[in-house]
Amino acid sequence: MEILVIGAGVSGLTSTLELLRAGHGVTVWARDLPPNTTSNAAAAVWMPYAVRGPSAGDVTRWGAISLERFGTLAGDERAGIVQREVLDLYPTAYDALPEWASAVPTFHLAAADELPPGYAMGYAFPAPVIDTSVYLNWLLDEVTSAGGRVERRAVERLEDVPARWQVVVNCTGLGARELAPDDRETSGDGLGVHAGRGQVVRVRNTGFARALADDADPQRPTYIVPRLRDIVLGGFNQASESLEPDPAQIPDILRRCAALAAHFDPAFAASLRALADPDSQPGVAPAEVVSVGVGLRPIRGVVRLEAQRLADGRRVVHNYGHGGAGVTLSWGCAEDVVRLVAENAS
């Protein structure tokens, strides 16, 4: 079939690539292309964060498929993916494991000597880290090499899409508020899309090799994600849509990440403290800032991955609302897009 995909973030490009591989003709329209998409701002380590599936087991299934796909790409510098040991830390111990733990064969509780002071529990597992500044370009190249057509073009209404496209795939993220329309402020069920603003500091990679996370404060999650060329330090999760970096948030991120890193690499932690508070670490060279980034997570009560009919009978497949897990779930959700297209072919 001839299919139009709207959106060129990780969900749109991955869905496009899977549809092309399934034999369809695909055109992509997007307001923004890499490197200017929301997905480009992601850290991004494989870990389902701030996301819920429409039914039990969805996040685990989508995540497991994506974990396998990223695993096959790990080590390929063209795709910007490396394997890291991840330690997800909690100040209070819990009995329940996350739903998605079964997707990771070697997922385990961290041993006591792996935990920094102040933490009662941690989840430890190997996972791919995806450098989105590299990976999104790789995806775009794969799409065009497979015959996909990509245009920078905005769409106001689904009904305005020309009739030559038999199926429309909506991967617009925050744009679904207007296109679907699906806005939390106006939806009766409260599930609609809204923005979660994140800010990160990227510093030069010093060899710190472990990805660390502390999500105890949902508005101020702290994480350290070493990528190929830099280390991403975060972060925030705010109900705001400002894309301007907040200078006051930079030292806050650095101090929190320094505390998180201190148990594992005191020298790296000291360099972060020296950057945040130069007078506090005399004689210590501060970490080298590469950039400061801001992105908006497309948060929704549950991921919307379903098919519907337009008034003229054409089909729309929606694939959006992945919160902080768009990259983590991208390949699994793209497989479901291909399935939904096939199931609704008549």
128-152 tens-digit pLDDT: 999 999 999 999 999 999 999 999 9
Whether the Cβ atoms of residue 101 and residue 91 lie closer than 8 Å to each other: no
Do residues 109 and 88 touch, judged by C-beta distance below 8 A?
no
pLDDT of residue 139: 97
Question: In which band, very low, low, confident or very high, does the pLDDT at 155 lie, cut at 50, 70 and 90?
Answer: very high
Reported as a single tens digit per residue, the pLDDT across 243-254 is: 999 999 999 999
Q: List, in sequence order, the alpha helices (H) in 97-175.
A: 132-145
Contacts of 142 (CB under 8 A, 6+ apart): 17
Q: Which phi-psi region, left, alpha or beta, contains residue 244 (left: φ > 0; alpha: ψ -120 to 50)?
A: beta
pTM of the model: 0.95
How, if at all, do strands 194-204 and 230-234 pair? antiparallel
Which residue type occupies 81?
I
- Give the pLDDT band (50/70/90) at residue 77: confident
What is the number of other CB atoms lying within 10 angstroms of the CB of residue 299?
Answer: 22
In terms of Cβ atoms closer than 10 Å to its own Cβ (0-12, 13-18, 19+), residue 75 is exposed
- Average pLDDT taken over every residue of the chain: 94
Beta strands in 205-303 (DSSP E): 211-214, 222-226, 230-234, 289-299
Q: Does residue 199 contact residue 294 with C-beta atoms inside 8 Å?
A: yes
CA distance 21 to 65: 16
Structure letter (DSSP) for residue 287:
P
Helix-then-strand count for the chain, H and E: 7, 14
- Residue 191 confidence (pLDDT): 80
pLDDT digits (tens, 9 = 90+) for 253-306: 999 999 999 999 999 999 999 999 999 999 999 999 999 999 999 999 999 999
pLDDT at 183 over 90: no
Q: How far apart are CA 263 and CA 164, in angstroms?
A: 59
Q: In whole angstroms, how far apart are CA 13 and each of 17, 39, 170, 215? A: 6, 11, 11, 29
Q: What is the pLDDT of residues 43-62, one digit of tens each?
A: 899 999 879 999 989 999 99
Helix locations, 279-323, DSSP H = none
Residue of 43, 22, 19, 23 lying closest to 297 (CA atoms): 43
pLDDT per residue over 202-234, tens digit each?
999 999 999 999 999 999 999 999 998 899 999
Of 14, 95, 98, nearest to 48 by C-alpha is 98
Task: Return all residues near 292 (Cβ < 8 A) that are at least 6 apart.
Answer: 199, 200, 201, 202, 245, 250
Task: Give the span between the Cα atoms of 31 and 156, in whole angstroms.
Answer: 10
Using DSSP's 3-state secondary structure scheme, residue 117 falls into coil
Token readout for 84 is: 């890291």
Residue 332 has pLDDT above 70, yes or no: yes
pLDDT in tens, 92-127: 998 888 999 999 999 999 999 889 999 999 999 999
Give the number of other CB atoms < 10 A from CB of residue 92. Answer: 8
Residue 75 — very low, low, confident or very high, per pLDDT cuts 50/70/90?
Answer: confident
For residue 34, the tally of other CB atoms under 10 A from its CB is: 23
Do the Cβ atoms of 170 and 193 come closer than 8 Å? no
Separation of alpha carbons 309 and 316, rounded Å? 6
